[in-house]
Structure 1
Amino acid sequence: MGKSIMSDTLPGRAARRFNIAFAAWCLCFLVAGAAGLATLAATNRLPAPPITATNCIDEKFKFLHETTIREPSLIAVGSSVTWRNLDFSIFEQRYGKAVQPLNAAPCFLHVDQTAFLTDFLLDGMPSVKTVLSVFSMRDFQSCPAGGGAFFKPEDARDYVFGGSDAWHLYFKNFRPNAFLRDVVNLAEMRSGELIDAPLVMDRYGSGPLKLPEGDIRDNVSVDPACMTHLRAMSDMLARRGIEFVVVLFPPMPSWIEAYDPGGARDAAFRADVSRHLNLLNTVLIDTTKGLNLKDSDFTDHAHLQWSSVPILTEHVISQMDSTERGFAAGDKNHAL
């Protein structure tokens, strides 16, 4: 009988020892991980909480978490074409406090992903009356089936809108290769020392780009599915009663010369965008009308040198002011 009792209790003791050891290892891992994160934070090399594990997107979520602009009336949403090509300090000079702008655009997004991000942001920003997007042909390159969901809203919601520090995301969404790469490069990207991929943001969230010379880069083409997503985004904003300002980025002369002699594809793209917008709530600003820029104004076919961004921003303001839907026209223009 004693032998039987011993054989019954040994597995139980072994199981308890295993559970204790496992819990101890987990605790050590968490403590060591927390200490490592704190050390990286102290040296400005801690990546933003990995909501997407793409540093320029996660850095934008970090900015939205930290910004004091909590009740914007206007948000800019899009890819880096929106992020890097708007100088909202000019809005302050022009409108004072009548317009509260916030550049919420990250990078690398196509139109379907821009629509997804916009819907997410508007759920947490009831003050928004206007959404502004700057689009180039590059934003319409690829919109595969799936709705453009590129992050989990439940991961970002409390961090962006609720004040949570989101430490748990470093463990939940840990991707070692992306994390280690960012640990090496982030400080220089945040300071702007890495000029090809700076993560510097001004107080509105815009990301200045300053390069010694421009590069036409690769050819791009339009995925027709992206136009469908543009229409869906425009309709979504109309249902919310929010004005949609669409700015079509100016063509870089040398890019047109290299990939679209005569500009037929560029013209067709612009016309197609116009056809897919809900005119009840949308103002379309095609910068080929009234804005002439040189190659020296561009870093590439989708971005302006920061010194030339005010030219585009002032053009957008003048075009809006020439309509009855100017940025500071008041709530009466948003009863759509």
Structure 2
Amino acid sequence: MDPNSAKVDATAATSAIHRKFIRRFAASLGIIIACFALVLLGLDQAGRLPPPPLTANVCIDEKFRFLAQQDLKNVDLIAVGSSVTWRNLDLAVVKKAGLSKHPLNVAPCYLHAGETTYFTEFLLSRMSKVKQVITVVAPRDFEQCKQPNEAFFSRPLAEAYIFEGMPSFPIYLSNLKPALFVRDLLHIREMRQDPQHQFSIVMDGYGSGPLYSSSDWLPEPLLVPTCFQALAELEKVVNRHDARLIVAAFPMQPAWRDLHDPDGSLLDAFEQRLKSVLRSPTTAFVSGRQRALQDLHYADGVHFLWSSAQTYTRLVMNALTSKQAAVIPASSE
């Protein structure tokens, strides 16, 4: 037998084995992906499908899901920040006050100031009609910042999902964290449907997240300098996109003040630091130290119950549309 022919036959046999393995592997992979898609479909039909895991935090990802379902073309005002913004502003009141025709609360949970800056820049880069950006801040927003503009999700993936209509399946396929996914699917239906749930993510048509039940959460203040740099960067981002920034300092719960700031010096210093980093003459600052805010009802240290959130929003709007001293052009500080 010709040795060269034997080598050719052996090579051909090896190649055939490789091709067979690749076909079987591809088929197996296809079956696994198809089964995974069927699992997601079944969970969706049962109301148990967590939002696409862009960050693997269900509260943040639920806001991404909400945004992907909205028509964002004509939005002219966005509310940004953490749950201090998400749960404390009623944008129906903002619209009624005439500040905006198409407002949207884009704030999720848990963000710190640097992450808010990143998220705001991401949104404004694709939402050119936004002319006003409002944020409500509390010391909790300033407790952790690695940098002034801090990325916390894949921008290309989020852009494709929110603005370009990409299906959510690739996000599940690439970013799924099994343990978190299982935990979330056990609770997601109740979180979406029950406004009394401890971790409710029920949203109104404007994207706000009302609270109707109370807790004893009184977060200890920890103010990180980088977070104040992040607020300054947020102002620059907003101005670069030809929009106006409105910063409202949250009026902290009396029980929180009694525990962490009995003489008021901490919150006075906090507001002064906020104003000191804001430079644009178009920026407005609304103090949280107004007497009219003292009789509102709280869910916890940094959130109002919804009826008081509506009242608070009206007070902020009144401050912005009048000449009250609570509205301070930052450049005058």
Query: Secondary structure at 2:134's aligned position in 1?
Result: strand
Aligned counterpart, 1:34:
37
Aligned counterpart, 1:219:
220
Contact 2:89–2:310 (8 Å) recurs in 1: yes
Aligned counterpart, 1:190:
192
In 1, Cα distance between the equivalents of 2:163 and 2:323? 33
Aligned counterpart, 1:246:
247
- Summarize deviations over 1:239-263 as a string: whole Å, max 9, x none: 2221000010002111111112201
Aligned counterpart, 2:55:
52
Aligned counterpart, 1:328:
none
Aligned counterpart, 1:273:
274
In 2, Cα distance between the equivalents of 1:69 and 1:43? 28
In 1, Cα distance between the equivalents of 2:73 and 2:297? 33
In 1, Cα distance between the equivalents of 2:9 and 2:277? 77
Aligned counterpart, 2:320:
320
Query: Secondary structure at 1:291's aligned position in 2?
Result: helix
Specify whether residues 236 and 130 from structure 1 end up closer, same or farther in structure 2 by C-alpha distance, changes over 3 A only.
same
Contact 2:195–2:211 (8 Å) recurs in 1: no
Deviation at 1:7, TM superposition (A): 2.5
In 2, Cα distance between the equivalents of 1:145 and 1:51? 20
- Summarize deviations over 1:211-255 as a string: whole Å, max 9, x none: 1x3414231210011111111111222222210000100021111
- Summarize deviations over 1:47-78 as a string: whole Å, max 9, x none: 21111111111110111111245311110010
Deviation at 1:308, TM superposition (A): 0.8
In 1, Cα distance between the equivalents of 2:208 and 2:95? 14
1:92 corresponds to 2:95? yes
In 2, Cα distance between the equivalents of 1:17 and 1:239? 57
Contact 1:188–1:194 (8 Å) recurs in 2: no
Moved more, 78-87 or 61-70: 61-70
Aligned counterpart, 2:256:
255
Specify whether residues 238 and 323 from structure 1 end up closer, same or farther in structure 2 by C-alpha distance, changes over 3 A only.
farther
Moved more, 61-70 or 154-163: 61-70
The number of aligned residues is 321
Q: What is the alpha-carbon root mean square deviation over aligned residues?
A: 1.8
1:24 corresponds to 2:27? yes
Specify whether residues 19 and 146 from structure 1 end up closer, same or farther in structure 2 by C-alpha distance, changes over 3 A only.
farther
In 1, Cα distance between the equivalents of 2:247 and 2:84? 12
Specify whether residues 237 and 112 from structure 1 end up closer, same or farther in structure 2 by C-alpha distance, changes over 3 A only.
same
1:285 corresponds to 2:286? yes
Moved more, 103-112 or 153-162: 153-162
Aligned counterpart, 2:330:
none
Deviation at 1:152, TM superposition (A): 1.1
Contact 1:113–1:147 (8 Å) recurs in 2: yes
What code does the residue aligned with 2:27 have?
Answer: A
Paired residues for 1:218-237 under 5 Å: 218-237=219-238
Moved more, 174-183 or 269-278: 174-183
What code does the residue aligned with 1:198 have?
Answer: S
Aligned counterpart, 1:172:
174
Aligned counterpart, 1:161:
163
Provide TM-score, normalisation by structure 2: 0.91
Query: Secondary structure at 1:267's aligned position in 2?
Result: helix
Moved more, 75-84 or 298-307: 298-307
User: 10, 15, 24: which one pairs with 2:13?
Assistant: 10
Contact 2:81–2:137 (8 Å) recurs in 1: yes
- Summarize deviations over 1:265-300 as a string: whole Å, max 9, x none: 111111100101123221000121243334x71111
What code does the residue aligned with 2:247 have?
Answer: V
Specify whether residues 108 and 258 from structure 1 end up closer, same or farther in structure 2 by C-alpha distance, changes over 3 A only.
same
What code does the residue aligned with 2:105 have?
Answer: N
1:78 corresponds to 2:81? yes
Provide TM-score, normalisation by structure 1: 0.91
In 1, Cα distance between the equivalents of 2:278 and 2:311? 25
Specify whether residues 240 and 264 from structure 1 end up closer, same or farther in structure 2 by C-alpha distance, changes over 3 A only.
same
In 2, Cα distance between the equivalents of 1:36 and 1:142? 37
Specify whether residues 3 and 68 from structure 1 end up closer, same or farther in structure 2 by C-alpha distance, changes over 3 A only.
closer
Contact 1:72–1:101 (8 Å) recurs in 2: yes
Aligned counterpart, 1:330:
none
What code does the residue aligned with 1:185 have?
Answer: H
Specify whether residues 127 and 193 from structure 1 end up closer, same or farther in structure 2 by C-alpha distance, changes over 3 A only.
closer
